[in-house]
Structure 1
Amino acid sequence: MLETMKLAQAKKLGTQGFTRTLDFDLAKLVEEVGELAIEVQINQGRLPQSKGGDDGIVGEAVDVVNVALDIAFLAMAQTGDLTVEQMAETLRHISARKLARWEKKVSLLESNNN
């Protein structure tokens, strides 16, 4: 659902303009990851609450996901005229494969730690 909403928004915004480039979005992604890192440090007691924003860890994680999905949209848009549904299906297919790999890695790490 989130990926479809974001892809529809990205398609509406298009691929033309100063802010509609992979390098611009990559810079924004790094910025958002930095903001997420600050919120995690606040949560862990390493930074004062005053250094954070209003959204906390969850809000910053959503910002990271939004920018990452925009990067995926821009990359897919370069390869052809895909519909939002086709793009969403591509993301779901790749996500399922990546999630399965992640689960295996976590299980292996957990079993090695016990």
Structure 2
Amino acid sequence: MFIEQKLAQSALFGTTGVTRTLEFDLAKLVEEVGELAIEIQVTKGHLPKAKGGVDGVVGEAIDVINVALDIIFLQMAANGITNSHQIEEMIQAISNKKLSRWAKKSKEIEAMQNV
């Protein structure tokens, strides 16, 4: 539900305007990853708590997800697909493939560690 809501929001924003480009979203993604990095450093005690924000690690990770979903929407819209349900189905299909690969890789790493 979260993914479809975010994609619907992206659709409302449309695909035109200075903030509706892949370049803008890439810059925003880098910014959000930087904020996530700060929160992780605060959590691990490498930075003082005053450097962190109110969102913490989870909130900043969600910001990263939101921007990544907007990037997906913009790219799919460039390919002629703007229906949030269709995009969500595509995300699910690709995610399933990637999760299968990660599971396989995890088993390989585990097997190497048990040797």
> C-alpha displacement at 1:35, in angstroms?
0.5
In 1, distance between residues paired with 2:45 and 2:113? 25
Q: How many residues align?
A: 114
Aligned partner of 1:37 in structure 2 is 37
Query: TM-score, normalised to structure 1's length?
Result: 0.93
> C-alpha displacement at 1:89, in angstroms?
0.6
Contact 2:73 2:82 in 1 (8 A): no
Query: TM-score, normalised to structure 2's length?
Result: 0.92
> C-alpha displacement at 1:51, in angstroms?
0.5
> C-alpha displacement at 1:109, in angstroms?
2.8
1:29-63 CA-to-partner distances (Å, cap 9, x unmatched) read 00000000111111111111110000100000000
Ranges of 4+ aligned residues in structure 1 off by more than 4 Å: none
RMSD between superposed Cα atoms in Å: 1.2
1:14 equivalent to 2:14? Answer yes
* Closer/same/farther in 2, CA of residues 8 and 35 from structure 1, 3 Å limit: same
In 1, distance between residues paired with 2:41 and 2:108? 27
* Secondary structure of 2:97 counterpart: helix
In 2, distance between residues paired with 1:95 and 1:63? 19
The runs of 5 or more residues in structure 2 that have no matched partner are none
